[in-house]
Amino acid sequence: MPHVEAFPALPGEQAAAEQAALLQEVGRRLEEAATSPGYTPGTARQAIESSIQLQAAIVAAADEVSDENRKLADARFALGEALVQQENDLIGGAAEFCQALMVNPWHPDAICGIASVLGELGDLEGAVQTWRRSLIVAPRHGLTHFYLGSALGRQGDLEGALAEFRAVVEYDPDSPAAALARKNIEAVAALDEEEQRTPDT
């Protein structure tokens, strides 16, 4: 099982409800930024980062999500994914991911999507923190483990990356992410062998 660093205690339900209201405001700001012809990415990025800081508090809420809200969240996520993948509209996609989280704060794909946007915007540390938060919501979410492993590898944490790639293979063995994870595991193993054969100078 991959090592995940401990996080501070999450706030109680009242604090989570207050944070949920604040997240709605963040989502509104993001949506305005995404639809404004002259938006500045820096401003929208700050709004995204603010929403990420609130995510752990949202997860603490114990309310059940209705089937209607789950379907609505899935639809908002699908729209956000299309904006990111097909239109290369990172900010618009992130706004939709935030909208999905407003109706279903337990939506791991939406949290994962926000993390990916942060990574694309150059905030790799923010992305890593967000993927870790996503794993609080869905510890067996293979794609989140894969993206987290890739980011940790980019940061030079090969042990952490290996742990995440192994988690992908364990939790989602037949997925395309698992196939890529296996290749990455082999590549890291080859690097380790090469380092062991090369004497220190």
Which tens digit of pLDDT belongs to each residue from 47-68? Answer: 566 556 555 554 455 356 788 9
pLDDT of residue 16: 56
pTM (2 d.p.): 0.66
Cβ atoms of residues 98 and 76 within 8 Å:
no
Cβ atoms of residues 13 and 60 within 8 Å:
yes
Residues 165 and 183: their CA atoms lie apart, in Å, by: 9
Percentage of the chain lying above the pLDDT 90 cut: 40
Read off the pLDDT band of 178 (50, 70, 90): very high
pLDDT of residue 104: 87
Per-residue pLDDT, averaged over 69-86, amounts to: 94
Q: Which amino acid is at 162?
A: L
Per-residue pLDDT, averaged over 62-75, amounts to: 81
Q: Which residues have C-beta within 8 Å of that of residue 33, sequence separation ≥ 6?
A: 39, 43, 44, 47, 91, 95
Per-residue pLDDT, averaged over 122-145, amounts to: 89
Q: Please choose, from the candidates 51, 158, 155, the residue with its C-alpha nearest in 3D space to the C-alpha of residue 99.
A: 51
Cβ atoms of residues 95 and 126 within 8 Å:
no
